[in-house]
Amino acid sequence: MVLRGALSMLLLASFLAACSKEPPAKEQFYAEGSRLMQEEEYDQAIVAFEAGLAAGADSAAGYNLLGMAHRMKFNQTGEMELKQQEIAFFEKSVVADSTYWPAFINLGASLYYSGEPKRARGFFERALELNPTNPERELIKEMMEN
């Protein structure tokens, strides 16, 4: 059933792209994926975020969104492969834009909660360098100390 829904989403996106003179902007896919995440339709959100990345160049925001979708799907299922994909997408995000601080926080948190607090520390430090007024600064500092 999930595969059918994901396939339907992909077919709809392809149809819309073929009907328009210009391909849909990646932001439209990201908005759709975000809506699907709120509805806990993580498989379909992943398809939308992947379509957004396919519609444009490498995007730190797009990879970060894919990481978040995989995180939520992991939290729902506990499948370790999803945790590995989550981390991989956050890593792609920080490579795509070394100033995109949300991805540094997300990568740090994923590593921290995966039992790698030492590895997480550098990503947390970079996030706080990029955004020193982060409202979660104290929580991040606590995580860095553990």
Quick one: tokens of 99? 């100033």
With respect to residue 97, please indicate whether it lies within any of the assigned structural domains.
yes
Q: What is the pLDDT of residues 41-88, one digit of tens each?
A: 999 999 999 999 998 866 899 999 999 999 999 999 999 999 999 999
Asked, for residue 102, whether it belongs to a domain, the answer is yes
Q: pLDDT-derived band of residue 11, with 50, 70 and 90 as boundaries?
A: very low
Instruction: Specify if 19 maps to a domain.
Output: no
Domain enclosing residue 90, as ranges: 83-146
Please report which confidence band the pLDDT of residue 25 belongs to, taking 50, 70 and 90 as the band edges.
confident
Give me the residue label for tokens 């995989």: 70
Residue 62 is classified by DSSP as H
Number of residues that this document lists for the chain: 146
pLDDT band at residue 3 using 50, 70 and 90 as cut-offs: very low
- pLDDT interval class at 138 (50, 70, 90): very high
In a domain, 62, yes or no: no
CATH number of the structural domain spanning residue 96: 1.25.40.10
- Burial level of 63, CB count in 10 A (0-12/13-18/19+)? buried
The confidence score (pLDDT) of residue 57 equals 63
Domain membership flag for residue 89: yes
Residue 12's pLDDT band (cuts 50, 70, 90): very low
- Domain membership of residue 113 (yes or no) is yes
- The pLDDT-based confidence of 13 (bands split at 50, 70, 90) is very low
User: What domain count does the chain have?
Assistant: 1
Whole-prediction pTM value? 0.81
Q: Is 18 inside a domain boundary? A: no
pLDDT in tens, 97-132: 999 999 999 999 999 999 999 999 999 999 999 999
Report yes or no: 47 and 74 within 8 Å, Cβ to Cβ: no
Looking at residue 24, its pLDDT comes to 57
CA dihedral 94, 114, 86, 99 (to 10 degrees): -10
Is 94 inside any structural domain? yes
